[in-house]
Structure 1
Amino acid sequence: MSFDPFNELGGGSALRLDDGQQDDYCLPVASHSPETERLDYIHDVYKYHAGNIPAEVAAFLNNGARREILDVGCGTGKWALEMIEAYPNIIVTGVDLAHPPITVFPENFKFEIHDVTKGQEYADNTFDVVHVRDIHAGMPDYHTMLTECVRVLRPSGYLLVKEIEWIPRLPNGGNAEERFPAICQESFRDALIERSLDPMVGIHLAEYINNVSGLCDIKHTRHMVPMTPWSDDPILKYTGRMTQLAMSILGGTIRIMLLDHGESDPDGRYAAGIEELKDLSGEPIWFFGSVIARKQGELGDPSEFQDQDQDQMEERQEDEG
């Protein structure tokens, strides 16, 4: 796997390359500004609305035992860095297609370049928590990805998933397409479908999770977020501003994908969308879904799995060899 993190095609949108070919994700690397900024803005939105982790997982990590966490598609690494600061007893393994914008990694944060569309490179029962967030735009088989996440979870370990819904709405149930025609255009969703990707993962997240074997205690929550800082509530006002800032960057992020899809003027269309979002009276909103679930089975001491993990890893390496 080779990457060109500073490919300036498409107005500075840095795309990830696999042997000279654009990979399925088709968005800039997280280490390339302004994509770093966009991802960090959205990170704050998720954190302020749903927390980095649910309360039951926080209690689980606060019991003093060493716990292993896998962050699938870790992006800028901001979630992992905040987690190890809050829970010094954990070890986070972050995986992504390209290196995050981190120059020095803490001892308990390991990063590995890995294409999770090809499965997880870990033995069964390796991690106590698996965290997945906003990776559907590069995941042609979302069900298999979730199945692999469950496989590498230890019995009674936690699976945490968050995914965005790509449909702007109005809080009063009004017609968002009439009020915001530019930001409601379906070009991006159509471009994802053209690449055999499902843009509706966020909307159907509960269904995806329910169809994965081996999970129990599933809880699904749907979170409403302002797209602009129109609310008087301090948190909603802040996350609305973060969304507005992220949206101002998204046009460059998806520019090449839209051009590949055949859109003649993605820049003009997106500029029109930004103008729409300057009017705070419209009160547009978006949603994301979050899921917490546990792997079936009894929770054990992580040390009980170490020998088993090593044996399984050696078997997988022999099979691949």
Structure 2
Amino acid sequence: MIGDAHPLGAERLVRELDWNLLRTFVVLSRSHSVSDAAERLSLKQPTVSSALKRLEDRLGKKLINRKPGHFELTEAGELLLKEAVEIQGAILRLGTLMREVADEVRGHVEIAMASHVVCPLLDETLCRFHEMHPAATLSINISASKDALDAVMARRASLAVCLVRNRNAKLEYSRLFREFFGFFCGPTHPLFGRSGLTKADLAGQSAVSFVTDRLEDALRPVTLMRADVDLLDRVVGTSANLEEVRRMIIAGLGVGPLPVHVVGRDLKDGLLWRLPPYENLPAIDVHVVWNPSVKMNRAEAALLKMLLDHIERTPIAERTYL
């Protein structure tokens, strides 16, 4: 509580809360100070400070702890931020939804996708979707799987195609395909071109990998495989982007994991060399993820249904790539 302030009742809060205060708060939560937020919002510092105070007074809770060298959300602030981001996403979608009152399927589909997803079923679905609904538009934004899931949760993306470690009860999931990871090295690496290698030959070699190659993250099986061959614990290069992990492997920074089915061309071109183990490779599932609480536009709903129907018709054996 702040002074004598009392939180508004739920119905009164809906009537009296200024939504612009929430927008200001979202910017504040991503800033280092009130001055930083004011600069981002093109407002004066007193204006932003006043907005924060009004919001705290209306809610009856302190939202940000502020003192010299210290600027962070309180527990109440963290809770409000999660809700405010979802509200902001819903408001941003209103314009798109209002433009769609037409017989022809229109609208924009925003897909948040992990890097270098190679899946013929997905490609076939996108092709069919465009043929059936040429007035609809599509964008694909590449990001780390965690960021893709955050975008779906915050309603900034229509759906995600990514890795999943821990499921959020507020989201829905459907396994799109399964892929297997192996180890590879580049032309300048001492193991390149050598046949008859065993796991023991990898012991002590430097490694590069993905940022999600951790025991508590989506690539846990790859982490365990890396430990099994006794690569150096210190990973010398990481990225959330498959192409950049591939770049570091080819450049000779170290041994690194890649999905086996996406590197066939690189193996033929002499850019990569396959390393042990060759059997019992870690299987990684890639999912389609969406937010069932979101009111989808017609294009989003059509693409998601088309994709889920295609998945349902296709046995997992045909969606497993090795």
> Structures share a fold, TM > 0.5?
no
TM-score, scaled relative to structure 1: 0.32
- Select the structure of larger CA radius of gyration: 2
TM-score, scaled relative to structure 2: 0.31
